[in-house]
Structure 1
Amino acid sequence: MTTETQATAAASGAGATARFRENKQIGGGTSQERVNALAGRLLKAVNDIVLDEKVTYDEYNAFKAWLIQVGEDGEWPLFLDVWVEHSVEEVANDNRHGTKGTIEGPYYIPDAPTQNTPATLQMRKDEPGTPLLFQGQAKNVAGEPLAGALIELWHADDLGFYSQFAPGLPEWNLRGSVIADGEGYFEINTIQPAPYQIPTDGACGALIATAGWHAWRPAHLHFKVSAPGHQPITTQLYFEGGEHVVDDIASAVKPELILAPTRRADGHCREVTYDFILDPED
């Protein structure tokens, strides 16, 4: 039987590509003028680099081969989500006054099993890791509670692997959708995830090794929070003092998104309170 530690970049990349094609509307009605402007600037930037850095044919051909390999490995979602999405997110959420957003990443799966609060994410019997109680309240920017807000949560396990993107894990392991109560309060029992390397046995890993970079993301919890009449927010929450919080390969950490869990009296579980603040729809 294949286990999660035998996950490969190719398999994860293929899964991420397939999910993207299922869930995204490609094109989005972008006008010809906008495509012309964006594509023109992108190509100019690439050509400026070639001229400024005096790129050789050997380097050009190595780059061409690498681009082909990214596609063959199915790693375009990984590449773009790690190195580009943080800037797109900054533009998208620039006018928000509520909770800070950050990247979605390639491992979101819609329609996770739904529970009312208090909830416990689906996990294996004796799931490895430190138990974590994540609790808080969903509110609007005026401080009013958002009854029945939906909190979607997903994260890696104690070895840094995501269900549905690594073999051997139950389908909905450490994934769930939780409905807040009438005052917007929620309680979610899960485990604290581990930092993890992005897959390094494919084209993205080759770039990282050749450039002398590291491949690590800090431990984090992914969220999508929504409520009728309000803009949904996609974000990640990190852990104070965690490895790679200050040098996240995806450049997605923001000071407002760092948690400081405390030990419960029994010493077995950690807990943290964090409120989500949603902006009104435009």
Structure 2
Amino acid sequence: MSDTTTASAAASGASATERFQRDKSPYAAVADTPKERVDTLAREVLGAIHDTIRRHKVTYDEYNALKAWLIQVGQDGEWPLFLDVWIEHAVEDVATEHRAGSKGSIEGPYYVPNAPEQGARGTIPMREDEKGSPLVWTGRVTSTDGSPLAGAKVELWHADDDGFYSQFSPGIPEWNLRGSFTADADGTFQITTMQPAPYQIPTDGSCGKLIAAAGWHAWRPAHLHVKVSAPGHELLTAQLYFPGDEHNEDDIASAVKPELMLDPKPSADGTGSTIEYDFVLDRA
């Protein structure tokens, strides 16, 4: 089982930062950005900060507290957490507003590429004594014209019943609750996993200090992370949610959308739940 006594925001944040630096190459994608656009974006962001300072008469004590907090965010390795929780949802809205297919959502800081392949019908890697309620998900991947996307890739990852992600918290097997599934000739797939539980984002680091100081809550509703891809189509990144969760309406990451809500049904054998959820991908 996961060693929840030693999981910490600092360890999770450091892992997220290291993973981002290793798996992403962000600068190459914007190397040709015109100086005029950089100038516009930088000036408007700074201008918004200046306006806030002037409008609310920010004091030097408050300014120095902010400076110390920003430094601590970096030392804790929590920039991926901070940006993905409070900023990414707006970027995702802009990036996908043109799409006619399935709605997406944020990736979050805990994605890991190259999860083990499980075929079109399989069980996600998990511990023999994995806590939680079994969940069987049947779905289909099609293009916007309705044609099935044979060989479409569905990557799934989610937290365990204690709210921790493998490779970002200690004591959890490397690929626990992480898997890749390949749709069959009809674009269908079936995944057996465990229903995740709601969890709080790490609160013992810098992000937790902000949450406490602002009087916010730190909860994310239970969700499944997915990436769905097929040749000639745009990559879809999404999170799928469960009805009745008390934080669907006030998710700290502002990532819940009505189109991403699941409809679980009791399984025939009474041991868990089943869901049906399909994806429609836009052509690239």
TM-score, normalization: structure 1? 0.98
Q: What percentage of aligned pairs have identical amino acids?
A: 64
Structure 2 residue 18 is the aligned partner of structure 1 residue 25: no
How far apart, CA to CA, are the structure 2 residues paired with 1:235 and 1:4? 27
2:242–2:264 contact (8 Å) kept in structure 1: yes
RMSD: 1.1
Shift of 1:86: 0.1
- Asked whether 1:67 is paired with 2:70, we answer yes
Indicate yes or no: 2:146 matched with 1:143: yes
State the partner residue of 1:220.
223
- Shift in Å, 1:143: 1.2
SS in 2 for 1:178: strand
> Relative to 1, partners in 2 of residues 1:90 and 1:65: Cα closer, same or farther, differing over 3 Å?
same
Q: CA deviation at 1:161?
A: 0.6
1:6 is paired with a residue whose SS is: coil
Q: Is the 8 A contact 2:2 2:172 kept in 1?
A: no
Partner-residue secondary structure (3-state), 1:189: strand
Structure 1: how far apart are the matches of 2:50 and 2:281? 42
Alpha-carbon offset, residue 5 of structure 1: 4.0
Q: What is the CA deviation profile of residues 162-184 of structure 1, one whole-angstrom value per residue up to 9, with x for unaligned ones?
A: 00011000000000000010100
TM-score after normalising by structure 2: 0.97
Please say which of residues 130-139 and 3-12 is displaced more in the overlay: 3-12
TM-aligned CA deviation for residue 24 of structure 1: 1.5
Give unpaired runs (5+ residues) of structure 2.
none
Return closer, same or farther for 1:186/1:40 CA change in 2, 3 Å cut-off. Answer: same
Query: What is the aligned residue count?
Result: 281
Is 1:106 aligned with 2:71? Answer: no
Which runs of 5 or more residues in structure 1 are unaligned?
A: none
Residue 16, structure 1, aligned to residue 11, structure 2:
no
Q: Would the aligned equivalents of 1:261 and 1:272 in 2 still touch at CA under 8 Å?
A: yes
Contact 1:4 1:169 in 2 (8 A): no
For 1:78 and 1:147, the matched residues in 2 are separated by: 35
1:117 counterpart residue number: 120
Corresponding residue for 1:40? Answer: 43
Cα deviations across residues 208-231 of structure 1 (Å, max 9, x unaligned)?
000000000000000000001111
In the other structure, the counterpart of 1:240 is 243
| Distance in 2, Cα, partners of 1:157 & 1:93 | 29
Q: Does 1:128 align with 2:139?
A: no
Q: What residue number does 1:163 align with? A: 166
Displacement of 1:6 in angstroms is 2.2
